Amino acid sequence: MYTLFLLTVSFLISLILTPLFIWVSRKFGFVDYPNNRKVHRTPIPYLGGVVILISFIIGVIISRPIEAEYKAIIFGGVVIVIVGIIDDKYDLKPGLKLVGQIAASLVPVFYDVVIDSVTPFGIEIEFGVFSIPITIIWIVGILNAINLIDGLDGLATGVSVIALSSIAFITILQGNIFVMMICAILIGACIGFLVYNFHPAKIFLGDNGAMLLGFIISVVSLMGFKNITLISLFFPIIILAVPFIDMFFAALRRYRSNVSLVKADRSHIHHRLQNLGYSHAESVVLIYFIALLYSGASIILYFSTIPGAIIMSLLLILTTEIIVEAINLVDSDWKPVLNFARKIFHRILP
């Protein structure tokens, strides 16, 4: 009940603060202007990260946690929001943006929130001096995955809520009340913000908000799943499969086209769905359902034996490939599985 209370409090705070920061954004010029790469047609405020961060911090203060790790999330969150606001305002070069992301990821490291080891098949593998760079790569990778998928109204916010709900559920099973509480507070802040962020959006997350969500998700996943088993380490990746799939195939697509890996384009999952005829809101909701599919799979995987986990993993890989081919995520000619299925189908029913 107390967790539900914290979720409700952060929701109400976010719901109240968002209109205020819509006004502040417009007043001081923190607005995202439309261009040929963006789907909105009018300037939209983008201080969503500030709203969610303030709501989250107030919720954490009210919860009065005894664990010191919450400082890693709050201080690191402040750093990443500042980096994001600067990027939103001045469009930082990728190298400078990466430096800021690494700086934020060093805050959890300072508070000893790191990937120390994994235990595959009962054998503990210590990372030693590599624990810090592995942790930095983990945090930077997840926050960029969330940032990359933030292309439609409410998309990154809703996907983050689904991911956080899955992490919270698994940590309840593990008895990790602290991580579950942190997830609940952030879920409330996101839902309150989503009221204004869903299509047609009155405010955007901006890079400051998308990177904040990715940062907190990456850190709480470390708190919830580190030092358990090798399979546990993959839970956050499966839970966040949609942004990771988008990021991976964006890199593959750009490599195949011989263009820069950091060059923006209009070929992400949400763009492909719109090209197939889905409306803005329909594309977002459809991606929500895909995210729910992977989140449900992660929970099933949690209860699976090793053979069951292998079977589930193979099914997830097959499902992912079918989704990628069906929406032309790489290109319209990349359909090896679907073409093979068509050949088999035609042989059975000529």
The Cα 164–Cα 161 span in angstroms is 5
The Cα 166–Cα 153 span in angstroms is 22
Per-residue pLDDT at 316: 84
Per-residue pLDDT at 17: 96
pLDDT higher than 80, residue 123? no
Average pLDDT of span 226-244: 68
Q: What is the pLDDT of residues 1-20, one digit of tens each?
A: 788 899 999 999 999 999 99
Beta-carbon contacts of residue 101 (< 8 Å; ≥ 6 apart): 80, 83, 139, 140, 143, 144, 211
Per-residue pLDDT at 305: 73
pLDDT higher than 70, residue 220? yes
Q: What is the pLDDT of residues 67-119, one digit of tens each?
A: 888 999 999 999 999 999 999 998 889 899 999 999 999 999 999 888 877 66
DSSP string over 234-279: THHHHHTHHHHHHHHHHHHHHHHTT--TT---S-SHHHHHHHTT--
Tell which wins on pLDDT, 125 or 208.
208
148-150-152-157 Cα dihedral, nearest 10 degrees? 150
3-class SS at 126?
strand
Residue pair 205/150 in contact (Cβ under 8 Å)? The answer is yes
Domain locations in the chain?
2-348
Considering Cα of 275, then 155, then 208, then 254, what sign does the dihedral take?
negative
68-72: long-range pairs with CB below 8 Å, 24+:
68/111, 69/108, 69/111, 69/113, 69/178, 69/223, 70/178, 70/182, 71/111, 72/107, 72/108, 72/110, 72/111, 72/113, 72/219
- Mean pLDDT is lowest, of 126-135, 161-170, 198-207, for 126-135
Q: What is the pLDDT of residues 262-273, one digit of tens each?
A: 566 666 777 777
The partner residues of 126 in beta bridges, in order of sequence, read: 117
The Cα 162–Cα 173 span in angstroms is 17
Distance of CA 239 to the CA centre of its chain: 9
